[in-house]
């Protein structure tokens, strides 16, 4: 009887522990259990200063995906950003991706402005209509050293 009680207690402990592990890894760690819920879109930027992998991708203020990886394209020395977009959000061919900052000192994220054409982007396609991040120090430098006409 005592043995049965100990086994029950251990069973409850393991279940509670596994529930906590599941909450941490699946909910907070954003593990995609059944994969294939997203598709990849690439975008080419002149400058991605401050953007990191894992940053949000938003459309109209709603999160629709995240940045997967950032690489340098050797052929034209631009930054290639790979994004995972939710499958139920189709993007048009002429959508514009711009790098924005939430607040003055907040994190960088990518804002997608929907396009007007009805031609959807295929998974893995390259977005070329992009706006790079605004470099605040660069901007201030232009004011100070008279670059502004």
Interacting residues toward another protein by CB under 8 A: 3, 6-7, 9-10, 12-14, 16-18, 20-21, 23-25, 27-31, 54, 56
> What is the smallest separation between the CB atom of 73 and another protein, expressed in angstroms?
26
User: Which residue, 8 or 46, is less far from another protein as judged by CB?
Assistant: 8
Distances in Å between the Cα of 4 and the Cα atoms of 10, 15, 73, 135 are: 10, 16, 63, 66
> What is the smallest separation between the CB atom of 89 and another protein, expressed in angstroms?
18
CA-to-CA distance for 10 and 91, rounded, in angstroms?
Answer: 50
> What is the smallest separation between the CB atom of 136 and another protein, expressed in angstroms?
18
148: tokens are 């502004």
CA-to-CA distance for 64 and 128, rounded, in angstroms?
Answer: 19
User: Which residue, 21 or 122, is less far from another protein as judged by CB?
Assistant: 21
Alpha helices in the chain (DSSP H): 2-22, 136-144
User: Which residue, 52 or 140, is less far from another protein as judged by CB?
Assistant: 52
């Amino acid at each position: 009887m005592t043995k049965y009680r100990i086994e029950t207690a251990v069973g409850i402990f393991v279940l509670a522990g596994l529930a906590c592990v599941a909450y941490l890894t699946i909910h907070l760690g954003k593990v995609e259990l059944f994969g294939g819920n997203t598709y990849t879109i690439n975008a080419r930027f002149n400058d991605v200063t401050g953007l990191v992998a894992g940053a949000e991708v938003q459309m109209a203020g709603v999160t629709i995906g995240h940045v997967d990886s950032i690489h340098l394209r050797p052929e034209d020395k631009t930054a290639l950003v790979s994004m995972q977009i939710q499958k139920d959000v189709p993007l048009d061919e002429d959508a514009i991706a711009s790098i924005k900052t939430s607040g003055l000192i907040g994190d960088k994220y990518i804002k997608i402005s929907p396009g007007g054409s009805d031609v959807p982007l295929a998974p893995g396609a390259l977005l070329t209509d992009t706006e790079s991040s605004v470099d605040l120090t660069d901007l201030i430098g232009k004011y100070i050293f008279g670059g502004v006409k």
